Structure 1
Amino acid sequence: MGFKLHIGVLAFPFGTHAPPLLALVQRLAASAPDALFSFFNSATSNAALFNTSYDNIRPCDVWDGTPHGEAFTGSHFEAVGLFLKASPGNFDKVIQEAEHQSGLKICCLITDAFLWFACDMAEKRGVPWLPFWTAASCSLSSHLYTDQIVKAIQSTETAKQDKALSFIPGLEMVTTSDLPPEVFLDNSPSPLAITINKMVQQLPKSTAVVLNSFEEIDPIITKDLKSKFRHFLNVGPSILASPARAAPDDKTGCLSWLGSQNRPNSVVYISFGTVITPPENELAALAEALETCGFPFLWSLKEHAKKSLPTGFLERTNSLGKIVAWAPQQQVLAHENVGVFVTHCGWNSILESISSCVPLICRPFFGDQMLNSRMVQDSWKVGVRVKGGVFTKSETVESLRELMTTEKGEKMRENVGVLKDKAMAAVEPQGTSSKNFIKLLEIIRAPESR
């Protein structure tokens, strides 16, 4: 068909940034069939995302900054640095190709918020810039208040971890030790820290800041951030706004195994995302805790990490648990027999847990995960952080038993249910997220009325 609009979508191809951006674009594309969405992303990330074709979404591969013709063997963080160094030139080149191929100039840029340079690209083109923040509103707030946080630390002799953020609306229970390290620019900041710092400077120039969240989870933060941007649009959770219709992939037998467990809320599900594997001593401590507690468990664990498990653990727990290299997490959490989620506390995992009424045990590792875990435990009260910040056998046993067997754990499950109800209400036709999504569509369609 002939398209009337051409929307450029710029992804950040690391961690779990690109999938929620594509989920947003899928919703927009379904509501605007006369618009073409060009999805600019690394070839590796696009290959993982686009296992099906769309009428009006086209994947466009951009160079990821790694040496041509060589297999990249560096770390995750080195790859991020190379990608950011190659930007925005890598995007500019492919955008021009997409415009030539489609015969349509791009009339709006939707980008991962990390890609701050898109603000300049949009200004030069005279088009709206819509940065998509892939994390929670609490972490965005912490970055926006960087200057005030740094001044507060410098004005006191109190140790950094003891400084409460009582001056930031909605983050009164947070301390500086909970904050993403990128908030504190040291003498040799990482490429990501520099990127986030520049992002903070550019975001107020955007047409709208978009989040995969819902206003009701943090109403105080939402009110504050609405005062800082032209439009601040929570349009999620996408998992509830547009549930997956495809049949779940159960190639590792997780769902059938869960079905064989005959008691609701009885299974411990463990997964730390696609980037992190806990240290060997913590894997061993977690395994010992699972064996001691005797709860059925489903553990998504990379094959190479199994060597860190205690000798004989797999054999002794064969009838109790199941370990797989990959699990269909969304469907696993939605299963009635899952009772708790042991997680790194990434935002997508939190939303999936809330959407399935499953409380959390949090072991954060980097980025916004520490702050997320503070909110889980002390603001939303839907889970606990591992005491001391690392897995030990005794503390993990205590956390598992607290959530699985006590009234306190049952209260956390009730709190998750309340949050899910609020999230469901947000994506109803007259809900806040649905109204914000309509506003987002209006902004995207604005070029039609020029």
Structure 2
Amino acid sequence: MERDKRAVVKGSHVLVLPMPAQGHINPMLQFSKRLAAKGIKVTLVTTSSYLNAMQGEQALAMPINVEPIFDGFREGERVAGVDDYLERFKATVPGSLAEVIKKHSSTQNPPRCLIYDSLLPWAVDVAQDSGIHAATFFTQPCAVSVIYYHELQGSLKFPLMEPVVKLPSLPDMEFNDLPTFVYGPGSYPGLYDLVFSRFSNIDKATWVLWNTFDDLEDELVKWMKRKWPIKTIGPTIPSMFLDQRLEDDKDYGLSLFKPKSEACMEWLDSKSPHSVVYVSFGSVARLEEAQMAELAWGLKRSNYSFLWVVRETELEKLPRSFIEETSDSSLIVTWCNQMQVLAHRSIGCFVTHCGWNSTIEALGLGVPMVAMPQWTDQPTNAKFVADVWGVGVRVKVDGNGTIVTNEEIERCLREVMVEGERGIEIRQNSGKWKELARKAVDGGGSSEKNIEDFVGELMSNSYSIKE
């Protein structure tokens, strides 16, 4: 086994600033580990309130420093809502970030670049004002960003006059395949503004990094490279589940929830290969109580064993007596180590909301999916899962367009789990993408080459700070 680990190179320090949410920190942290393995000193900058909220002891597999930063909220202070948090975050963090850069600039290995979450476009100005490079990091697939870009350019007009949306480099799409934010902010105007602000000053960034890989979005990547200096560097999942070049990289390392790892593994070990349905809707998505009930009864009707992650705040939405009625064939936990679960031989399919991290993890581990998208980028990810990559099926909502019935959930589970023509095709496609994902980050792969190029360019004196 090759171990890609080099001594830290002086003058190679980078700061990494993710949006303080688990789905954004994890991919940027994984990229940081790849950089650390190549001799780059990495300091992960995240909010003190996020660090305080993490469960138990947290250990990073690679030598990455963590720098707390003040986000405007004192310990124990309650947040009125998402928009309130975002407003105070934007008012406070730029100044805090400038102070962090200044502090590290006086060390023997001062920062050379700030890698910032694309949802924080103001960070490029802080970096440039501090005299260092900036690289923006997109945690969503190219497909979603291309749609947002065309929306900004006025290519999408609502209400749609045609049933099919045709955009360059994208497959034909229907209304329910589009990211939810393209047709309005809904209840989250602050998030809506964040999503579209990413392109406001993208040209100021020296590098544009993307958590995807060339084979996965080939036409989209080629189209976007004509506009920006993008580098695909994904999939950003722990190395031991892909190329195994970073021996200590077995987990993300930071989490807001405490996983029930031992209980999950013991239960899965008792099951036959490809016999278990794994169900998880990530760290944010919330199903309505009626939808939780339909999902629950659909799982029970299918007669498959299932492992269902139901966050503690969502447990009360489960139907009364459901846990007891299904205890012989199910395990319900409040959180788990998703990578360990997806990699287990007993898993037959993954019922997912199609958040990008969950989607690319399933792709990287070759697990077929039942796509049940909720909002933001998830409908587009589900479209690609079912119709482009062919690694799963997508549930259909009922005639009122409001709920997925238990009969539909059962139908989809059987289509993926049964060894029929469709199920076999999905499993074969899943295996193909698993291998392509591994090749992308392995030696000589497209993402590995892009990371090497980024490191080389970072250390070159020929790159000047963009104005």
1:340 matched residue in structure 2: 349
CA contact (8 A) 2:62 2:249 kept: no
Q: CA deviation at 1:374?
A: 1.1
1:393 matched residue in structure 2: 406
**Counterpart check, 1:367 vs 2:372:** no
Of 69, 79, 82, 2:85 maps to 79
1:5 matched residue in structure 2: 12
1:402 matched residue in structure 2: 415
Query: What secondary structure sits across from 2:438 in the alignment?
Result: helix
**Counterpart check, 1:280 vs 2:289:** yes
Query: What secondary structure sits across from 2:166 in the alignment?
Result: coil
**Counterpart check, 1:256 vs 2:266:** yes
**Counterpart check, 1:381 vs 2:384:** no
2:4 matched residue in structure 1: none
Query: What secondary structure sits across from 1:201 in the alignment?
Result: coil
Cα 1:312/1:184, change in 2 over 3 Å: closer
Overall identity of the aligned pairs, in %: 29
Cα 1:339/1:107, change in 2 over 3 Å: same
CA contact (8 A) 1:29 1:56 kept: yes
Distance 1:98 1:172 in 2: 46
Of 63, 70, 74, 1:63 maps to 70
Distance 1:348 1:211 in 2: 13
**Counterpart check, 1:144 vs 2:157:** no
1:94 matched residue in structure 2: 100
1:265 matched residue in structure 2: 274
Listed as ranges, the gaps of 5+ residues in structure 1 are none
2:5 matched residue in structure 1: none
What one-letter code is carried by the residue in structure 1 that aligns with 2:67? C
Cα 1:184/1:205, change in 2 over 3 Å: farther
CA contact (8 A) 2:79 2:85 kept: no
1:114 matched residue in structure 2: 119
Of 289, 304, 323, 1:295 maps to 304
1:245 matched residue in structure 2: 248
Distance 2:47 2:75 in 1: 15
Query: What secondary structure sits across from 1:167 in the alignment?
Result: coil
Structure (1 or 2) with the greater helix fraction: 1
Query: What secondary structure sits across from 1:210 in the alignment?
Result: strand
Cα 1:316/1:243, change in 2 over 3 Å: farther
Listed as ranges, the gaps of 5+ residues in structure 2 are 1-7, 252-258
Distance 1:182 1:211 in 2: 20
Distance 2:424 2:84 in 1: 43
What one-letter code is carried by the residue in structure 1 that aligns with 2:123? A
Distance 1:273 1:330 in 2: 12
Cα 1:184/1:443, change in 2 over 3 Å: farther
Deviation digits for residues 183-208 of structure 1, max 9, x if unmatched?
Answer: 45669982222233232122233222
Q: CA deviation at 1:58?
A: 1.9
Query: What secondary structure sits across from 1:253 in the alignment?
Result: helix
Distance 1:175 1:65 in 2: 41
Q: CA deviation at 1:246?
A: 6.2
Q: CA deviation at 1:73?
A: 4.4
Distance 1:354 1:2 in 2: 34
Cα 1:247/1:219, change in 2 over 3 Å: closer
Cα 1:128/1:69, change in 2 over 3 Å: closer
Of 452, 459, 466, 1:438 maps to 452
Deviation digits for residues 192-240 of structure 1, max 9, x if unmatched?
Answer: 2223323212223322211222100111101101111124333434432
Q: CA deviation at 1:397?
A: 1.2
CA contact (8 A) 1:296 1:321 kept: yes
- Alignment of structure 1 residues 415-430 onto 2, 5 Å: 415-430=429-444
Cα 1:184/1:128, change in 2 over 3 Å: farther
The two structures, once aligned, show a CA RMSD in angstroms of 2.8
CA contact (8 A) 1:164 1:172 kept: no
Q: CA deviation at 1:126?
A: 4.3
Distance 1:336 1:187 in 2: 40
Distance 2:87 2:432 in 1: 40
Cα 1:188/1:294, change in 2 over 3 Å: closer
Query: What secondary structure sits across from 1:60 in the alignment?
Result: strand
Distance 1:259 1:395 in 2: 29
Deviation digits for residues 88-134 of structure 1, max 9, x if unmatched?
Answer: 2232233223334x355422111111111122233334432211111
Size of the aligned set, in residue pairs, is 439
Distance 1:294 1:352 in 2: 26
Distance 1:134 1:244 in 2: 24
Distance 1:82 1:361 in 2: 38
Query: What secondary structure sits across from 1:319 in the alignment?
Result: coil
CA contact (8 A) 1:46 1:59 kept: no
Deviation digits for residues 152-199 of structure 1, max 9, x if unmatched?
Answer: 416xx645xx55332221x22223443334345669982222233232
Distance 1:384 1:244 in 2: 34
Distance 1:30 1:367 in 2: 33
Deviation digits for residues 221-276 of structure 1, max 9, x if unmatched?
Answer: 01101111124333434432556736777545101101101x21110000111112
Distance 1:188 1:376 in 2: 27
Distance 1:182 1:65 in 2: 27
1:226 matched residue in structure 2: 225
Which TM-score applies when normalising by structure 2?
0.86
Query: What secondary structure sits across from 2:66 in the alignment?
Result: strand
Query: What secondary structure sits across from 1:7 in the alignment?
Result: strand
Indicate the larger mover: 183-192 or 355-364.
183-192
**Counterpart check, 1:167 vs 2:167:** yes
1:124 matched residue in structure 2: 129
Distance 2:230 2:214 in 1: 13
Distance 2:91 2:463 in 1: 37
Structure with the bigger RCO (C-alpha within 8 Å, sep 6+) is: 2
Distance 2:414 2:218 in 1: 32
1:195 matched residue in structure 2: 194
2:3 matched residue in structure 1: none
